[in-house]
Structure 1
């Protein structure tokens, strides 16, 4: 019983860790895109001035 419970717990944590990693990856991707947009806007403003 304890072995099956342990394997279920491991699978549960693996599943949620993978979901968390995907969420972090999405956040990092969105963050880097926003940083690129801000960088481009700053360059355009500096170029215009």
Structure 2
């Protein structure tokens, strides 16, 4: 959260080519972190009969 405001201000100050390149890196980095994290969570309802996905 502390990185969001400076990143937002920086992205508004650069041109479109640099902005698009940085957004590509941010999305790929988020996917590289998010996919293994979600895979490691597994099925959260296993062993919990009262746990439901909404």
In terms of fraction of residues, the more helix-rich structure is 1
Radius of gyration: which is bigger? 1
TM-score, scaled relative to structure 1: 0.50
TM-score, scaled relative to structure 2: 0.46
Flag the structure with more relative contact order, 1 or 2, with Cα contacts below 8 A and sequence separation at least 6: 2
